Chains A and B, each alone.
Chain A
Amino acid sequence: MGTLKRYTKSVDGTIPAPALLYPEEEIMALQEGVGIYDGNQKSPQHQSGAVYATSHRLFYIDHPHPSSRSFALDLSHISRTDYYAGLLRSSAKITLYLSALSTGTGRLGSQSNTRRANEEDDLETWECEVCSYRNTSGLSHAASQVCTLCGVPRSATGNNTLSSALPRQLNNISLSSSLPSSSDHLNSMLSSEPVSRSDLGTTNEVACPACTFLNHPSLPNCEICGTELPRRPPRHAPAKSAPSSRPPSDDEDEDDYDELDDRPRMMKISFRKGGDKSFYAVLRRSLLGKAWEPSQVLTPPFKTDNSSSVNNRSGLNSILHDVSTKATTSQSNLEDALQDLEALIVKAREMVRVAEDLNERLSATTAAAASIAPNGQPVLDVVEPEEATFIRSSLAQLGLQMENAPVTQDMIKDERKWFEELARELAGVLQGHGGKGISEDGGMMKKRGVVGMDEIWGGWNRARGVALIPPSTFLQILPHLPTYTSPPIQARTFSSGLSVLHTPLFTKAAFSSRLASLLVIRPKTTVEVAYEEQLPIGLVQDMILEVEETGDICRDEGGAGVNMLDTNQGGETQWWPNVFNGYIWDGQVD
């Protein structure tokens, strides 16, 4: 009968079901006592059996004639299912609506060709073109497209050459004759095959419309450029005329009906002994699982259209497709990672809050202990319990010390307030935290009067650890800084573009007078001044240039001396007090 025969494959029901499975296939459910409807009619040959739902297929094992009447149906053919709970004497049924076969043209010729190809795929072993591994049959349709050893897709190597196709065909014939369950239909198709082959013999190769490469007739796409090849009329002609060369059978009427597509392609499973509900649930899960589709990792090129052209991609097309798939994958991976990061930040905030809480409680208990102490308690009790100290130091090690918890914008609503809080925090980083806590080192600027802006920005952000401050914000809070620092720390930008923060000791005026008195003793080079001031040379150079701009000092570039060999007076610029200021002419007067 039409639908049943075309969509199902005979299996030998005497073999236990688990032995019929593909390597990656699993049995999901089993139900005894079912009957099959082909379309809306009872299929008289399949009225008493067991039905297995696996991850890939649906098996029907006939009880009276297990070897001849059992069959398997690929789940991939099922487009839709329906459930009928049963009423009075009619038993519960599951209706399976089947999708059009393969290429979807519904034409007799291509249909039977596809059918034949499927048979081949399942029955033969094939050798991988890349690693020569002989892949066994019995894999599911999807898995059989990929070499089990090296993972190269079967079609990518373009193995559909005439020489390999012919032996396969022979192989097929012998196999099918050895299988008693093979349908008449298949045999008739195989017997008609040589006819079409001989017809094809003359115009064997198909010219690609895009690149004119002569492709083997069995290829649907051009081997070189992947363009779809025109369907050759000679291929259909013998198929159309096939009835004359085929033994007449009642299949043909069915096929013709189907070709007109008047009738829904469907079959039903009738559950005579119940168990329908659970079975239906399992079946639906299998269908949704789509285990027959190739996994993405193995064969990315097939991901998008495995329905029609699983083995059609080859050459440049497949490479391009591969690349785009990879790009998509990495993009989605990246997005996932970013989301994870955000979640992590949220968690970190929570952790900080918990640590804060813990620390406060510890402080509270310590304070309580301290307040009790005067009332006759031994002074020893004031000492923080060992456990508390341990917890505190652990928190510090984790970077969760609360005394210098970074100020973040979400803590403070007002922007101006935020800047002020940041300035306060920065003051702590620069000058230590008011003598208590962990800053025995006294902050970044305890021993240094001038520090580069970049270094401070980096140091501050390192101290914060989280919620880093952008340079723009950093610059905005600098005007607030003198308010919170003692002595006030101010920002200064030199003509070279170097920006620093400095203590009052290094204002322009202070440095200028210091430098002048230094130079009176002896003129000095920049390096010597840098040594005196214990500052970087580049910084000192900028500071000296600023003093020079005020006219308090002057320079002697030397170098171009009378005696070129005198190396004692090298080319280094010496700084002098301004010898021209207040100079009164004491030379020749006439």
Chain B
Amino acid sequence: MASTSFSPYKTASGFLLPSIHSAPPFFTQQPNLSTQITHTAHWTRLILSYARHRQLFLLRVEDAETSGSNWDEILKNERINRKLLPTHLSFILADMVSKNLAIYEPVRQTRSVLLYWRTPEEWAEVLHGWADSTGQLNTILTFYDIVEPPVPSPLVGLPLTMLRKAIAILAKTSRAQTIAVADGEGVRFLSGNTTR
């Protein structure tokens, strides 16, 4: 496969693009159903791993229409002069939502998704671990305290939608408790029964 062997490529942000990203057919929606399933799976993996790499949570169809967005590195490949078409991106997003790898955010539209590169359950664990490790159990924290902590944490920039889902999951196992505070919502993390 002389001409079709592509090599991975490291982007400016330090992300290692897969070799398939250099194949022009990767940027074309494939009519063949089985090809399309594989194709979309590759795209899904690329998007999620890039999101994880860059700590990105939201992906919009507009990102494929304009340039200069956070997603340019994967939605375009200037070396082979290809880019993902908005309609194709929209199709991939719909597929991800159907596979529960993303949700439409806000709801009742299909142009923007919240990516689940970590599922809410995983985020719940991350959240509880962060509170535990930073010694903030049994203290009341506002959401602002969590997503914009004075010390950098994996939770920086976490969308509130995801935060609420994670807290709701913790609350079910009595590891968190939502509390109404003066300037909004607050949460108190408890040690619970599964803590280390």
Interface residues of A (CB under 8 A from B): 520-523, 548-551, 554-558, 560-563, 566, 569, 574, 576-581, 583, 585-590
**Minimal Cβ-Cβ distance residue in B for A554:** B25
Nearest Cβ in chain B — how far from A499, in angstroms?
22
Nearest Cβ in chain B — how far from A24, in angstroms?
83
Contacts of A560 in B (CB 8 A): 27, 82-83, 85
Q: Across the interface, do B76 and A562 meet the contact criterion of CB distance under 8 Å?
A: yes
Interface residues of B in 1-41 (CB under 8 A from A): 1-4, 8, 15-21, 23-28, 30-32, 34-35, 38-39
Candidates A522, A549, A557; contact of B3 at CB < 8 Å: A522
With contact pairs A586-B8, A586-B19 given, residues A563 and B3 touching in the complex (Cβ less than 8 Å) = no
Asked whether any CB of chain A lies closer than 8 Å to the CB of B155, the reply is: no
| Closest 7 pairs (CB-CB, A-B) | A587-B18, A556-B24, A561-B81, A580-B38, A588-B16, A556-B25, A557-B28
Chain A interface secondary structure, helix, strand, loop or mixed?
loop
Q: Across the interface, do A588 and B78 meet the contact criterion of CB distance under 8 Å?
A: no
With contact pairs A562-B82, A588-B15, A590-B49 given, residues A577 and B4 touching in the complex (Cβ less than 8 Å) = yes
Q: Across the interface, do A585 and B18 meet the contact criterion of CB distance under 8 Å?
A: yes
With contact pairs A569-B81, A590-B49 given, residues A580 and B42 touching in the complex (Cβ less than 8 Å) = yes
Q: Across the interface, do A576 and B23 meet the contact criterion of CB distance under 8 Å?
A: yes
Nearest Cβ in chain B — how far from A282, in angstroms?
91
Q: Across the interface, do B3 and A583 meet the contact criterion of CB distance under 8 Å?
A: no
Number of interface residues of B (CB under 8 A): 39
**Minimal Cβ-Cβ distance residue in B for A550:** B32
With contact pairs A555-B28, A579-B25 given, residues A523 and B3 touching in the complex (Cβ less than 8 Å) = yes
With contact pairs A560-B83, A587-B46, A588-B15 given, residues A576 and B32 touching in the complex (Cβ less than 8 Å) = no
Give CA–CA (A569, B79) in the complex, Å: 12
Q: Across the interface, do B3 and A590 meet the contact criterion of CB distance under 8 Å?
A: no
Q: Across the interface, do B38 and A558 meet the contact criterion of CB distance under 8 Å?
A: no
Q: Across the interface, do B42 and A562 meet the contact criterion of CB distance under 8 Å?
A: no
Q: Across the interface, do B1 and A548 meet the contact criterion of CB distance under 8 Å?
A: no
Q: Across the interface, do A549 and B53 meet the contact criterion of CB distance under 8 Å?
A: no
Q: Across the interface, do A576 and B49 meet the contact criterion of CB distance under 8 Å?
A: no
Candidates B8, B17, B52, B78; contact of A562 at CB < 8 Å: B78
Asked whether any CB of chain A lies closer than 8 Å to the CB of B50, the reply is: yes
Contacts of A569 in B (CB 8 A): 81
Nearest Cβ in chain A — how far from B67, in angstroms?
8
Candidates B4, B8, B30; contact of A520 at CB < 8 Å: B4
Give CA–CA (A523, B26) in the complex, Å: 14
